[in-house]
Amino acid sequence: MKNEPREAVSGLKTAGVIALLASLLVLLPSASAGSYAMKIHVEANPSVAAPGEHVEFIYNLTNTGDYDLYNIVVDGLGEVPDLSGVVLKAGDEMQVYGNYTMGDDNAYNSAFVTAQDYKGRPAVRSYSGCAVMLP
């Protein structure tokens, strides 16, 4: 009989500690795992061009994620510079310029960008597009 009150008090202490820990967990901010994300936006200059005329594509890249991106590849019309050694830091932006010679038809640049995480694993893929029309 002497053990019964002690066990009841011990049980109440345990329940109180658990309730206190649970209330602290609710008050603490939760840690986010972060994310990999990137935006691409492509524009053409000029947007109207005759056959044989030079067109410059401007690729605006933005790392909208929480981590740096590596081995960036922009795939679009014409010549696009090699960005394999470029690191785009979280929150940073950059512009890349590509050259294209207008053909006999309207040109549609369906561009996409890919990048890897620090271990070389695929992390992001994003798309954008624009058109260059004949006069």
pLDDT digits (tens, 9 = 90+) for 21-56: 444 444 444 445 689 999 999 999 999 999 999 999
Q: Do 49 and 109 lie in a common domain?
A: yes
Count up the domains in the chain and report the number: 2
Q: Is the pLDDT of residue 76 over 90?
A: yes
Q: Is 109 left (phi over 0), alpha (psi -120 to 50) or beta?
A: beta
Q: Do 111 and 58 lie in a common domain?
A: yes
Q: Do 42 and 65 lie in a common domain?
A: yes
The whole-number pLDDT of residue 26 equals 45
Q: Do 4 and 70 lie in a common domain?
A: no
Q: Is the pLDDT of residue 74 over 80?
A: yes
Q: Do 55 and 72 lie in a common domain?
A: yes
Q: Do 64 and 81 lie in a common domain?
A: yes
CATH number at residue 54: 2.60.40.10
Q: Which domain holds residue 20?
A: 1-31
The whole-number pLDDT of residue 131 equals 96
Task: Encode pLDDT of 92-132 as tens digits.
Answer: 999 999 999 999 999 999 999 999 999 999 999 999 999 99
Q: Do 98 and 75 lie in a common domain?
A: yes
